[in-house]
Structure 1
């Protein structure tokens, strides 16, 4: 398939359609697509009067007739087209990487509050420590008044926002009707999609109460976060193709897995999972070794000791048994030397690894059959069912 030429204009047409879907949130995408492409076909003769520009990732669309409406059976009309003034960005461009970084001075108290606010932001979890601190340096605090509009649907994105305090309502206008679709209550982040994909804002976000936000400007966001995501995708996609369990996934499935993997590092002897605890994560060993142990009773009643039953190395995984069976951890795992694992939380595991579930269940059934006869031998033979 790699030798099949891509028809000229296909990427631009699909990008334009994607932007309209994000902007309008149609109830029926098929009907929306039929009407969109029918209108596109009918207006071919008007293309010269519509000012369409393409710039790598970004697309600017304007219309000479700003009030033009399009009536569809399901969607009353397309919203007025708005320009997407997004600069193109090449993650591999070293010149852009050497540009001076933005730094906003912070007191010790402000920096501590910022660290707490950013602790659980998913976009920051895959950053190296120096990149993370560069992001913190570039962020600035913005006080917010009740009723203030932070983001307006269809407008260009300027900042990424991390919530310090306050309640923020998320609104979407659909068919001329504004709906409340979500609320952020004193934690979380928003505004990344428009910056990552060069699309207009998909929602309007209004402060219900007074509060404060930490803001990261568009240019810094793209230079650090977008570049990091591109690097992470390339590196982790190459890696997970070597993992037998994941090698059968389609390309788009692998990309979804890559996007949710979070690197974690462990030092020698550090416990990664504990036998008997509830299961929250699935682990793939990227580097180092992980020692797997189970507890066994001693001859004295009530006392237990740990027995090493297996070792996981690069490309092997552990922690899925409890997630598949919805039971507590059946074994403990410890780092041997310095270890780096790629970690997927339970919700992503259930959502994305459906195609691999039968393989894991089959290994678990093999474990259960053999463990009754020869516990240690069974575990050694069935390393991937741990």
Structure 2
């Protein structure tokens, strides 16, 4: 017989109260290499080896932000966001029984527990012990201990880099059982997939600094065209991988960021850019712009700028922003395109007046 609506509603808050709405443990990569692609292996932070940390750890490799936190890439799609939470393998049957039953018993013995909360705890205990079920949630006999090793209970995991607490805790279904090698029930749309891992790899991707080569370098003159370029050798594809490896489930996804354009913002309205849009496209050899050389003084740079006013005793902050085209591939041949990303840096440019001698 299904539980009534108030009790079913009250059960939605129990995963958090019992400690089953979990926060993903961060991981951090080694320092990036000179070309910005990062190290090949990730060291993992934290020392808690129980629960989610022993089973559903997501590891990041490649060019990922130090500390496992959010990287420096910004999506060009304002409506795109990484998942705030997801469901992932948590514990085997015996371990889950030990932790869950202790949590429920402890809560039920708490002074003042009664009414709807107490009834909800009782229904929750029946759900995992006596096969008590709801229409959308099958019950279990003795926590499925007779199936230990054949599957795992899955639980909600919070994305620690999601600032909105409500979104982060929106995966609030009770832990559920999934047989090894089987897909989670279709109602759990947030169950971990290669596509979710790709979004997390995107979120943690660390891109190289964008410092363009200028000619003249550092100091230029008013009305003098300044050439700007990025060589292929210091400007390459970047990859980050997120992987989840647990009994019965081994999935991963790799995001690849390829530079496709450079945008120059002079740091003052008293300047022209080349081209006029300030956006320099990728050359056939994957470089951007064209290096300055003797004999080009009278030419207009294909990528560059021209300052119309001196910077006085200071400098202008030239901002160079790269647009990166993002794709992903994952376990089972999955893959596709993701929103483009951007990342930029500022560099100081001193602009001087051209001095002339009057006779």
Which structure has greater helix proportion?
1
Structure with more relative contact order (C-alpha pairs < 8 Å, separation 6 or more): 2
Greater gyration radius: 2
TM range (shorter): under 0.3
TM-score (norm. length: structure 1): 0.22
TM-score (norm. length: structure 2): 0.23
Which structure has greater strand proportion?
2
